[in-house]
Amino acid sequence: MNLQSVKTRFGIVGNSSGLERALATAVRVAPADITVLVRGESGTGKEALPKIIHHNSARKHGAYIAVNCGAIPEGTIDSELFGHEKGSFTGAHEARKGYFEEADGGTVFLDEVGELPLATQARLLRVLETGEYLRVGSSKVRKTDVRVVAATNLDFEQAMVNGKFREDLYYRLNQVPLMLPPLRDRGDDIHLLFRKFTGDFSERHHMPPIRLGPEAVELLKRYPWPGNVRQLKNIAEQISAIETERSVDADRLLDYLPELPRRDLVTIPKDEKNGAGPGLNEREILYKLLFEMKSDLHDLKSLVLKMIQEGRIDAGSSEDQSLVNRVFGEQEGTDLLRLPERAGGDAGWAPPTEQGNVDAGFSETTEVEESLSLLDSERELIQRALNKHGHRRKQAAAELGISERTLYRKIKEFGLK
């Protein structure tokens, strides 16, 4: 079976190399009766690969059972997987087969396999190695012939170090590893998937399909999609249900994309005994925030310095001089604006490095004072870039050295037009 027919049969959309590599490997290993472990971030569509493997194997006429290991309580997971005998625990009014018994001759898909308790992991390892298991409350050894395909977004290496996952089970599951790429790495697939989801919604509800403008398509591709395909589908259906105007531009699309945090917030780990952070006090947290503010100031100074060196800021303009002086300080800003003539006239003079510009005479007090004026400087810089490029945001973002996504957010934040 070729990849295109596989995509058509299982409703898979996309042509990215990572996706096609995973599909090709799944089809290739399907006839071999070995265990497969599907890895990938949450929401990438890992549940499709076990179906492809099952339906392209010699077990395709047998049962296919998908089990969400993370959704079954720890106290009942053994009973669900391996069955139980009557009276083995409270509520066990009759004997019951487990999934491994029901799927004998077929395939069991263990989704979120990293959530299994350690005791259940030992039972699963025995099934994988010998095909033998015990029902809960029974001493009779039973046999089953199943193929196991597992999936997880767990960091196994860290889980094994922490004693949360058995190393021997990991190697037994990982006979053939398959990795599904995150949506942000799938390029043009993002727009194809968006069109599929909005088209399916429109067909179900008898509505005109959504169309995206060129800038909206670019924004869709540049967004990092932390929730992957699942998040994209939700947003596509939101837009389809809410928008009365079926042509959506970048500004309107931006309203549906959740704002991502610029940096991780400072958190204090709680000590179980006294509720205090074991290694951080208030002064250390303030220092951490100051260092982060300093990093932002470094970035802004580097950007302005680069514009001066490239001649994009006019030393003779009072508007430019005011902007540079506000970012660097009066004396340092004036010196920097004379950079071109000094470069040509001062023997042995070299452009100041970022470290030299930022750190010379930089105290915690001046750092805070300068940081307070960053918003005004940033707003002015963005407005100037927009004016220069006739409010073409793509070119303005390129000149500023930031992404269009960040520029869109800043325009809305500062109320620029």
Architecture of domain 184-254: Orthogonal Bundle (1.10)
Q: What is the DSSP letter of 136?
A: B
Q: Which of 138, 225, 127, 120 is nearest to 183 (CA)?
A: 225
Q: Per residue in 280-296, pLDDT tens? A: 445 555 555 665 676 67
Which residues of the chain does CATH 3.40.50.300 include?
Answer: 3-181
Q: Per residue in 328-368, pLDDT tens? A: 665 555 666 665 554 444 444 444 444 444 444 444 444 44
Spell 95-115 as b/e; 16+ CB within 10 A means b: ebebbbbebbebbbbbbbbbb
The confidence band for 383, taking pLDDT boundaries of 50, 70 and 90, is confident
The confidence band for 408, taking pLDDT boundaries of 50, 70 and 90, is confident
382 or 180: which carries more pLDDT confidence?
Answer: 180
Q: Per residue in 307-320, pLDDT tens? A: 777 777 665 666 66
CA gap 157, 213 in Å, rounded: 43
Question: Residues 285, 286, 291, 293: what is their CA dihedral angle, to the nearest 10 degrees?
Answer: 120
Q: Which amino acid is at 199?
A: G
Whole-prediction pTM value? 0.63
Mean pLDDT (whole number) for 134-149: 94
Mean pLDDT (whole number) for 115-132: 95
CATH class of residue range 3-181: alpha beta
Q: What is the mean pLDDT of the chain?
A: 81
Transcribe 181-231 into DSSP letters: PPGGG-TTHHHHHHHHHHHHHHHHHT-PPPEE-HHHHHHHHHS--TTHHHH
Q: What is the DSSP letter of 44?
A: S
Which residues of the chain does CATH 1.10.8.60 include?
Answer: 184-254
CA gap 2, 18 in Å, rounded: 16
CA gap 408, 223 in Å, rounded: 12
How many percent of the chain have pLDDT more than 90? 54
CA gap 270, 178 in Å, rounded: 38
What six digits make up the tokens of 312? 């994009």
Residues across the chain: 417
CA gap 320, 313 in Å, rounded: 6
| Residue 66 scores a pLDDT above 60 | yes
Question: For residue 351, how many other CB atoms are within 10 A of its CB?
Answer: 13
Task: Determine whether 349 is exposed, middle or buried from the number of CB atoms within 10 Å of its CB (0-12, 13-18, 19+).
Answer: exposed
Computed from CA positions of residues 353, 354, 359, 361, in that sequence, does the dihedral angle turn out positive or negative?
Answer: positive
What six digits make up the tokens of 295? 């990093």
CA gap 344, 334 in Å, rounded: 17
| Confidence (pLDDT) at 410 | 81
Q: What is the DSSP letter of 273?
A: T
**How wide is the angle at C-alpha 206 spanned by C-alphas 203 and 209, nearest 5°?**
65
104 or 91: which carries more pLDDT confidence?
Answer: 104
